[in-house]
Amino acid sequence: MKLPISWLNEYVSTDGITPKELADKLLNIGFEVEEIIYMGDGIEKVVAGKILEITKHPDADKLSVCKVDVGEEKVTIVTGAKNIAIGNTVPVALDGATLPNGVRITAAPLRGIMSYGMMCSGAELGVDNNVIEGADVNGILILPEITPGSDIKDVLRLNETVLDISVTANRPDCQCVYGMAREIAAMLGKKLKPLHLNYKSISFEQTPTVEIKDDACSRYTCNVISDVKIRKSPDWLRDRLRYVGIRSINNVVDITNYVLMEVGQPLHAFDTSFVSQLGIIVRKASNGEQITALDERTYTLNDSMLVIADNEKPLAIAGVMGGEYSGITDTTKTVLLESARFSKGNVRATSRALGLRSDSSARYEKGVDYASVDVGRERALALFHQLKAGKVTTSFAAANRAKPQPKTVRTSAKKISELLGIDVKPNVIAKILKGLEFKVEIDGDSITAQAPLFREDIENYTDLAEEVIRFYGYDNIKSTFMSTAKTTAGGTDVRQKNIDFLKTLACNFGAYEISTYSFISKKAASQLILPQNSELRNQIEILNPLSDEYCVMRTQLASSMLNVVAHNFSKKNKEFRLFEVGKTYIARELPLKELPDERDTLIMAFTGEHESFYTVKSAVSEILRRFAIHPEQAEYGKKSYYHPGISCDYYINGENFCSFGKLHPSVAKNFGIADDVYICEMDLSGFISAEIPNVKFAPLPKYQTVERDLAVIVREEVPAGDIIKTARHADPLCIHAELFDIYRGEQIEAGHKSVALSFILSSPDKTLTDEEITTAFNNVLSSLEREYGAKLR
Amino acid sequence: MEESVKKLTAETEAKISECVEKADLNAIRVRVLGKNGELTALLKSMKDLPPEKRPEAGKIVNAAREKLEQAIAARQAELERLELAKRLREEKIDISIDIRPPASGGLHPLTIMRSRITEFFSSLGFVIADSPEIETDYYNFEALNIPADHPAREMQDTFFITENILLRSQTSAGQVRMMEKVKPPIKMLSPGRVFRADEADATHSPVFHQVEGLVVDKGITMCDLKGILDLFAKKFFGENTKTRFRPSYFPFTEPSVEVDASCSQCGGKGCRVCKGTGWIEILGAGMVNRNVLKTCGINPDEYTGFAFGVGLDRITNIIFGINSMRTVFENDVRFLKQFN
């Protein structure tokens, strides 16, 4: 909210305190001043000057030479202005002056005659007719007669400082000048001056009636003002509205806005000639009911929206905007002034549904308290009286629903002190609360505090504790270390430990971790050429996404990763390994009825000259080994975005939990990737929360191991990996087998290949004899012959 | 005889000292000392001497042999030394050249910071817990004392999946789940991902991370909150860091505070990092609202507690000097490598 210091000073004096000091103090009681606005900022050395002489410039037809009294001296100014006359008072920017647009004025010769300044237009000073009559003319701003030399900022009432204060959502009562004045008075230990609520009223022939038909309105009051004279508001009122960023319209509208800013009560003025029988009905609209609002647009309402109506038609959308025809015009003679309280939820919902916001709806959405209704109306009536904008009448009506009772909190200084952890005496507590208009009784240590009606945020002793510490000072909170708390054993759970371990492993492969958004584009599914029936298309949609780019929760991490890979390629980064451990969101049914599965998932991407299917496979194998996971089945990859011949799916319990391999060339193209990329995806949810079983130590061989090589010729389609596996299990002495070469070509029959492997033989309890070695070798060979029709090469 | 030995010795010694190749040295050894060598020949010729002179002659020859062998060995060692020195000289390389380091990989800065924070609180007895990212309205709002009409719902623009299911806008949602399951004493830390409908820019991201802390036990006070946050600030921003509480508002805590740490860049004097204030806002905190405790089945007259929520991304950016939230999620390899 915007708080002009001069307006504040009307209710509490801040003399001797700079705006900066005030801002610092406000921060300590919970109000952050986001900006200190100095209204006349940028205007320096501009004064009122009286024109004493005007003569024609000897060398220029369009220029005049003026002698101007600027207070302490008389200066010569050369001007091209046409609208000036001897005796006029005008703003003069002296030598060295600055204007709000940053322009700097210096003395300079104009066609041979020194000009010691410049006369200014309203526009050059950043003011319009709203500030001072004549500011809008095309020419120099002619001021009323003022002592020459007066600072123009005083003349134009630009010497105002405004605090732009951020008010937390629990304090709607501070969204107005008087509410902030109350806090500041308590803060400074000064007296809060009362609002001016005095007026005289006359009788009026007709009395309004009010009927409230819905709980969304808890109080509605209205008062007739007769003999209304629509005109311009006085300067002081228009200035104040200007300081808080509101445009002056006319005296009646200005009064309603002024009260909104000063006491936080939205008001609405109806022209009585449009209110049938002055009979106000507060009711829900009927479905399809239409109203043309002050913005000249027609809105179609529904039965959740509250309207102010007479017995014929809706007059206003309650708390949001008045109807076009019932509003104030230049011919308005009698006004029905509404001051009411509508529920913030209803106003918000209506405002949102209609896409219609106003200062009034913004205020209601924050919450208007019950007491403000009467304070706001009385303040407005006092202003009508003061401004002679109309005659206040005794013609008044009001209706209530559910009048709130002031809340009383019974507690003790001990409880408050215990929560804060410091000792605060009952009388100190009482003094602070009284300063905030609580009614307080102390009896020994016990405290009874009744909150004022505008403090709807107060519920229990913890709220009082906050009020106390805000003013007692948070500096008094000292560091202690939970001396009363029981000791607890901290730590991470198995899942988190395992994830950390997995990330360490991935880093060991030389991969860098990335972090990407959990929501992705719908387009990703087609980029990954997912078939229409793919489960990965069962994505959870966000109702209100920021954009199409981030509109569904991801069921796979591949598309996010590929975007990152593509981004890196675009930045000329080559040869890298990346990984992410993130969640995929798997719905049991769509639309969502219950919370979905959030599955921990790993994705890796390898790219570079030395990467291949086998480098990514080795990383996968290492992860599985470290987590003691043994896939039951391995098949060529079935996912649409993998190269069908250079990818693999691993299964456990019939579930494909891991896929890896080369990215499908079409998919690479869809992501704008030209280089080869190998990826791996692993659903961790099946094992990440389980402790990794302890390793069982295998005693180191005591006796010499023997290494033997073997090359066999098999048919092309026999997987070399299977040969290794068979060799490994062909004889109990064989403790290790690995592939070292595959050869195709001369000397090998077409459709066949030579697979060379080496294996290690060892016995736990003796040195092997030549005979045993030969037997084991033959066992390996014969196993391969039997299983694959292998022939020794 | 003696003359011949002397002459041969002198000649050979001269040759040895001139010798620059090990092979030549060997040739000299063979020629002079070998089976058919010149000195050996002299030894053999002793048989022509009278027997009484033979022992004397033998001594002379053997002394010469010994002397020459030593000279050869010495020369040999000298040649080897020279050869090694030459080799070392020739093997010299340009040490100013750098090659690409082995790819060591590394964690994302958010993970690094998250680990540091969880380790710190874990050592203070906090259990690290996780909770769902897709939440019900109940856990994200209702149970946290934010009923349907509450203005705080406006404070956070929330992503909705259905009317009742949403992307959690705060890790505080995890508080309630914890307190439903576990009764005091509770010391919990819940780091995680949260979502708000903010367009991505230098300081905002629709996806970001919070670390939520919760302590509930008998007699927990606001001073205890200050104590733990002081420790936290000193640990992460330096030993001389001070903290400041400012009143604020969160529906799930009462009283609520914003916590500032004295700026570690300027030590509180005011600089660009702290925008001249000397303070950097690091987290929001407060005493757990009684309504929240009640909702979770914990008696608020028996127990009190505090909660705090750290913006992980914010802390990470401050500590590492990262100047844009966008950079964090862009995952440029050149960015990622800097933290490892």
Is the predicted pLDDT of residue A277 greater than 70, yes or no?
yes
Higher pLDDT, A701 or A449: A449
Contact criterion met (CB < 8 Å) for B161 and A542: yes
Contact criterion met (CB < 8 Å) for B247 and A171: no
What CATH class does A494-683 carry?
A: alpha beta
Residue A169 in tokens:
């959502």
Residue A302 in tokens:
């529904």
Domain identity same for B130 and B74: no
- Would you say A77 and A115 are in contact if contact means Cβ atoms under 8 Å apart? yes
Contact criterion met (CB < 8 Å) for A517 and B159: no
Domain identity same for B230 and B322: yes
Domain identity same for B119 and B210: yes
Is the predicted pLDDT of residue B152 greater than 70, yes or no?
no
What's domain A209-400's architecture?
Answer: 3-Layer(bba) Sandwich (3.50)
Domain identity same for B133 and B82: no
Distance CA B4, CA B17 (A): 20
Chain B partners within 8 Å of A516 (Cβ): 329, 331
- Model pLDDT, residue B41: 84
Domain end call among B62, B90, B118 = B90
The CA distance from A241 to the nearest CA of chain B, in Å, is: 26
- Model pLDDT, residue B102: 74
CATH of residue B278 = 3.30.930.10
- Model pLDDT, residue A642: 96
The answer to whether residue B46 sits within a structural domain is yes
Go through A497-515 and write b for each residue having 16 or more CB atoms within 10 A of its CB, e for each that does not: ebbbebbebbbebbbbbbb
Distance CA A286, CA A213 (A): 13
Range of lowest pLDDT (A77-91, A188-202, A575-589): A77-91
Q: Which of residues 264-283 of B touch A (CB under 8 A)?
A: none
The answer to whether residue B39 sits within a structural domain is yes
Q: Please indicate whether the domains covering A2-39+160-188 and A209-400 agree at the CATH topology level.
A: no
Mean pLDDT of A96-106: 89
The answer to whether residue B144 sits within a structural domain is yes
Q: Could you read off the pLDDT of A394-420 as tens digits, one per residue? A: 999 999 987 888 999 999 999 999 999
Q: Which of A29, A418, A479 sits opposite B247 (nearest CB)?
A: A29
Domain identity same for B146 and B276: yes
The CA distance from B190 to the nearest CA of chain A, in Å, is: 10
Q: Which of residues 11-50 of A touch B (CB under 8 A)?
A: 27-30, 32
Q: Could you read off the pLDDT of B216-242 as tens digits, one per residue? A: 999 999 999 999 999 999 999 999 999
SS3 A552: strand
Q: Residue A90: how many CA atoms within 13 Å on its side-chain side?
A: 30
Q: Does A570 touch chain B (CB under 8 A)?
A: no
- Model pLDDT, residue B298: 95
For residue A47, what are the contacts with CB-CB under 8 A and spacing of at least 6?
A70, A71, A91, A92, A94, A148, A149, A150, A151, A152
Mean pLDDT of A755-769: 92
Domain identity same for B149 and B68: no
- Model pLDDT, residue A8: 97
Q: Delimit the domains of chain A by residue range.
A: 2-39+160-188, 44-155, 209-400, 408-472, 494-683, 706-792
Q: Does A694 touch chain B (CB under 8 A)?
A: no
Using CA coordinates, name the residue in chain B closest to A345: B149
Q: Does A485 touch chain B (CB under 8 A)?
A: yes
Domain end call among B90, B123, B148 = B90
Chain B partners within 8 Å of A172 (Cβ): 151
- Would you say B142 and B150 are in contact if contact means Cβ atoms under 8 Å apart? no
The answer to whether residue B104 sits within a structural domain is no
Q: Which of B102, B107, B332 sits opposite A507 (nearest CB)?
A: B107
The CA distance from A27 to the nearest CA of chain B, in Å, is: 7
Distance CA B39, CA B65 (A): 7
Q: Does B332 touch chain A (CB under 8 A)?
A: yes
Using CA coordinates, name the residue in chain B closest to A550: B206
Is the predicted pLDDT of residue A9 greater than 90, yes or no?
yes
Domain identity same for B117 and B147: yes
The answer to whether residue B302 sits within a structural domain is yes
Q: Does B235 touch chain A (CB under 8 A)?
A: no
Partnered with residue B258 across adjacent β-strands are B246, B284
Mean pLDDT of A254-274: 95
Domain identity same for B221 and B251: yes
Q: Does A418 touch chain B (CB under 8 A)?
A: yes
Contact criterion met (CB < 8 Å) for B219 and A484: yes
Is the predicted pLDDT of residue A613 greater than 80, yes or no?
yes
Range of lowest pLDDT (A250-259, A770-779, B56-65, B250-259): B56-65
- Model pLDDT, residue A675: 94
Q: Which of B162, B222, B291 sits opposite A419 (nearest CB)?
A: B222
Contact criterion met (CB < 8 Å) for A480 and B226: yes
Partnered with residue A681 across adjacent β-strands are A603, A659
**What is the rounded average pLDDT for all residues in chain A?**
93
Q: Which of B134, B246, B251 sits opposite A474 (nearest CB)?
A: B246
Contact criterion met (CB < 8 Å) for A28 and B136: no
Distance CA A51, CA A86 (A): 5
Percent of chain B with pLDDT over 90: 59
The domain over range A2-39+160-188 is classified in CATH as 3.30.56.10: yes
Q: Could you read off the pLDDT of A731-748 as tens digits, one per residue? A: 999 999 999 899 998 888
- Starting from the edge strand earliest in sequence, which strands make up the sheet with B186-195, in order? B127-128, B186-195, B207-217, B304-311, B279-288, B253-262, B243-250
> Is residue A591 reached through a cis peptide bond, with omega within 30 degrees of 0 on the bond before it?
yes
Domain identity same for B137 and B184: yes
The CA distance from B203 to the nearest CA of chain A, in Å, is: 16
The domain over range A408-472 is classified in CATH as 3.40.50.2300: no
Chain B partners within 8 Å of A619 (Cβ): none
Range of lowest pLDDT (A298-302, A488-492, A609-613): A488-492
Contact criterion met (CB < 8 Å) for B227 and A482: yes
Cβ–Cβ pairs < 8 A, chains A and B: 259
Residue among A60, A54, A49 nearest A113 (CA): A60
CATH number, domain A706-792: 3.30.70.380
Contact criterion met (CB < 8 Å) for A543 and B159: yes
Q: Does A325 touch chain B (CB under 8 A)?
A: no
> Is residue B191 reached through a cis peptide bond, with omega within 30 degrees of 0 on the bond before it?
no
Using CA coordinates, name the residue in chain B closest to A352: B154
Mean pLDDT of B64-82: 91
The model's confidence at residue A266, banded by pLDDT at 50, 70 and 90, is: very high
Contact criterion met (CB < 8 Å) for A30 and B159: no
Residue among A359, A342, A325, A337 nearest A284 (CA): A342
The CA distance from B96 to the nearest CA of chain A, in Å, is: 24
Q: Does B261 touch chain A (CB under 8 A)?
A: no
Which of A134-148, A682-696, B89-103 has the highest mean predicted lDDT (pLDDT)? A682-696
The answer to whether residue B258 sits within a structural domain is yes
Is the predicted pLDDT of residue B197 greater than 80, yes or no?
yes
Interface probe with B: pick from A418, A456, A513, A611, most Cβ of B within 10 Å: A513
The model's confidence at residue A376, banded by pLDDT at 50, 70 and 90, is: very high
Helix H segments across A152-223? 152-155, 177-188
Distance CA A154, CA A134 (A): 17
Partnered with residue A212 across adjacent β-strands are A282
The answer to whether residue B162 sits within a structural domain is yes
Is the predicted pLDDT of residue B103 greater than 80, yes or no?
no
- Model pLDDT, residue A403: 82
Interface probe with B: pick from A474, A573, A581, most Cβ of B within 10 Å: A474
Q: Could you read off the pLDDT of A499-511 as tens digits, one per residue? A: 999 999 999 999 9
Chain B partners within 8 Å of A503 (Cβ): 107, 111
Q: Does B99 touch chain A (CB under 8 A)?
A: no
Distance CA B192, CA B209 (A): 5
- Model pLDDT, residue B156: 62
Q: Does A615 touch chain B (CB under 8 A)?
A: no
Interface probe with B: pick from A361, A458, A470, A512, most Cβ of B within 10 Å: A512
The answer to whether residue B259 sits within a structural domain is yes
Q: Which of B128, B151, B228 sits opposite A491 (nearest CB)?
A: B128
Residue B132: domain span:
109-339
User: pTM for the whole thing?
Assistant: 0.84
Distance CA B82, CA B74 (A): 12
Helix or strand holding residue B249 (H, E)? strand B243-250
The count of structural domains within chain B is: 2
Contact criterion met (CB < 8 Å) for A518 and B193: yes
Give B100: exposed, middle or buried? Use CB within 10 Å, 0-12, 13-18, 19+. exposed
The model's confidence at residue B155, banded by pLDDT at 50, 70 and 90, is: low
Is the predicted pLDDT of residue B154 greater than 80, yes or no?
no
The domain over range A44-155 is classified in CATH as 1.10.287.1400: no
Using CA coordinates, name the residue in chain A closest to B229: A479
Phi-psi region of A533 (alpha: psi -120 to 50; beta: other; left: phi over 0): alpha
DSSP string, A697-720: PPPPPSS--EEEEEEEEEETTS-H
Domain identity same for B168 and B311: yes
Domain identity same for B62 and B130: no
Q: How far is CA A178 from CA A4, A264, A450, in A?
A: 11, 8, 20
Q: Could you read off the pLDDT of A549-559 as tens digits, one per residue? A: 999 999 999 99
Chain B partners within 8 Å of A578 (Cβ): 331, 333, 336
Domain identity same for B66 and B123: no
Residue A655 in tokens:
């579930």
